[in-house]
């Protein structure tokens, strides 16, 4: 069997961090087993689906390095859904129901008021052909429900949650098609999974009850179901489910200077027993991916942790990998000098401005003579390795050491109290510019 997974977003908006994690885990599991990762655009909702979101989904996956091995569009498969619905109708596994939304809500309230679960009473099954004809003659269009088999307990071994068991008697027959002819998620997804040869379905734990229903749909359509992995949902850093996570898309992360490798490294292991590590290459993440390592507790997504991971990723980038994203004129030596101080690549522009100048420094009165002396010494250096030569000569000439020696020099030369190693930075600033800054001119 070829392992085949799918990521199935609806193009009604952009991907958020929970979607991204699902896509990543589907991709990783398929690659771990030498299989295929497919993209399915669930665009059955014609009113809310937009092509700009389809394009955004493709672009986001590409930015993350998740390249699908194939793509399907549900909107191109309506004829297939019609044909399979007809098969189920002929077999008595789907049936028309004529209650309005208001009537169904009233039934629900009555049951809840009696302390009973709001399970659909299957009243539509008692309608005669004459009853149906009369309703349709009155302009009432039916919606369609899948008839659950109440005699078969629903069971499966979930790759994350372990053994699962549902009693279909406690579940409503799900609506699979609305009265206006539009499709709901459950049945088209099953039909697609069969036709696409999906072997494993990886999704959030909020779909567990959907899986119980869909397993009977697979059986009714004569197909072997895929294996399922239902992952714990993400929580925010405050430790509870966060609505904000639902709005954090890739534009947010890109705008914050987050690298795709950092986001991938964090989400790959979030919720597992494995440590989060700053892997630039996805191969080690793929090789270690195993649903047995996932826990059932909610997975905590922390943007501060992501930022720290991002810095560790940036520190690994060679010049060739970032050259096109650096400020004009920045050399490999400049990148190597500045890189250890960066949290994002965008910050390189700030440090390169320090190199190119001008800089402004607030110099204490007691340090002015010291800096003038430093300028005199610097003027006589050959500038091959100026920082140790300059500080060594100043220490001997003035007796200064430690902070008193180094801080005034750094302030005058960079305008900042902290920053990259001055031994690497000073040659980039250059002798003439360094002398001007030490002299305060």
Cα 265-267-272 angle, rounded to 5 deg: 100
Yes or no: say if 3 and 29 are a contact pair by the CB < 8 Å rule. Answer: yes
d(CA 245, CA 241): 8
Yes or no: say if 179 and 143 are a contact pair by the CB < 8 Å rule. Answer: yes
Among positive and negative, which fits the CA dihedral 113, 119, 124, 125?
negative
Yes or no: say if 182 and 220 are a contact pair by the CB < 8 Å rule. Answer: no
Q: Which one, of 399, 331, 409, 329, lies nearest residue 374 by Cα?
A: 409
d(CA 254, CA 248): 11
Distance in Å from the first CA to the final CA of the chain: 74
Q: Encoding tokens for residue 272?
A: 């597992």
Q: Could you identify the residue written with the tokens 């099954």?
A: 125
Yes or no: say if 246 and 18 are a contact pair by the CB < 8 Å rule. Answer: yes
Yes or no: say if 276 and 269 are a contact pair by the CB < 8 Å rule. Answer: yes
Angle between the N-to-C axes of helices 208-220 and 186-195, in degrees from 0 to 180, rounded to the nearest 10? 60
- Residue 243 annotated as binding? yes
Q: Which one, of 63, 57, 129, lies nearest residue 96 by Cα?
A: 129
d(CA 341, CA 311): 9
DSSP string, 152-181: S-EEEEETTTEEEEE-GGGSPPPEEE-TTS
Neighbours of 145 (CB within 10 A): 21
Helix (H, G, I), strand (E, B) or coil at 284: helix
Yes or no: say if 41 and 11 are a contact pair by the CB < 8 Å rule. Answer: yes
Neighbours of 18 (CB within 10 A): 19
Please give the annotated binding residues for ATP, written as ranges. Answer: 243
Please give the annotated binding residues, written as ranges. Answer: 243
């Amino acid at each position: 069997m070829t392992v085949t997974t799918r990521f199935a977003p609806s193009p009604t908006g952009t991907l958020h961090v929970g979607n991204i994690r699902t896509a990543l885990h589907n991709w990783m599991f398929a690659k771990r087993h030498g299989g295929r990762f497919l993209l399915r655009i669930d665009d059955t909702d014609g009113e809310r689906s937009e092509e700009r979101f389809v394009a955004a989904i493709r672009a986001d996956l590409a930015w993350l390095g998740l390249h699908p091995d194939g793509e399907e569009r549900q909107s191109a498969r309506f004829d297939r859904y019609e044909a399979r619905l007809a098969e189920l109708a002929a077999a008595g596994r789907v049936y028309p129901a004529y209650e309005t939304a208001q009537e169904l809500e009233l039934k629900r309230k009555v049951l809840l008021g009696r302390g009973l679960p709001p399970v659909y009473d299957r009243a539509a099954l008692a309608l005669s052909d004459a009853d149906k004809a009369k309703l349709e003659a009155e302009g009432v269009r039916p919606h369609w429900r899948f008839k659950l088999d109440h005699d078969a307990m629903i069971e499966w071994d979930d790759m994350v949650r372990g053994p699962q068991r549902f009693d279909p008697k406690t579940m409503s027959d799900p609506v699979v098609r609305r009265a206006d002819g539009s499709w709901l998620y459950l049945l088209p997804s099953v039909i697609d999974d069969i036709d696409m040869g999906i072997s494993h379905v990886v999704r959030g734990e909020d779909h567990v009850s959907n899986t119980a229903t869909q397993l009977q749909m697979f059986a009714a359509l004569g197909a072997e179901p895929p294996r399922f992995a239902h992952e714990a949902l993400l929580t925010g850093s405050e430790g509870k489910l966060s609505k904000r996570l639902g709005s954090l898309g890739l534009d947010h992360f890109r705008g914050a200077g987050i690298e795709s490798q950092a986001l991938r490294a964090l989400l790959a292991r979030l919720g597992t027993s494995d440590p989060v590590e700053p892997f630039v290459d996805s191969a080690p993440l793929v090789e270690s991916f195993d649903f047995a390592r996932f826990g059932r507790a909610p997975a905590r997504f922390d943007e501060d942790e992501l930022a720290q991971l991002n810095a560790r990723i940036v520190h690994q980038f060679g010049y060739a990998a970032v050259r096109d994203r650096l400020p004009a004129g920045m050399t490999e030596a400049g990148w190597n000098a500045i890189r250890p101080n960066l949290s994002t690549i965008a910050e390189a522009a700030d440090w390169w401005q320090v190199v190119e100048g001008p800089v402004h420094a607030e110099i204490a009165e007691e340090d002015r003579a010291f800096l003038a002396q430093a300028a005199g010494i610097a003027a006589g250096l050959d500038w091959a390795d100026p920082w140790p030569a300059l500080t060594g000569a100043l220490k001997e000439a003035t007796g200064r050491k430690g902070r008193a020696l180094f801080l005034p020099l750094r302030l005058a030369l960079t305008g900042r109290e902290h920053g990259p190693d001055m031994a690497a930075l000073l040659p980039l600033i250059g002798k003439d510019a360094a002398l001007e800054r030490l002299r305060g001119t």
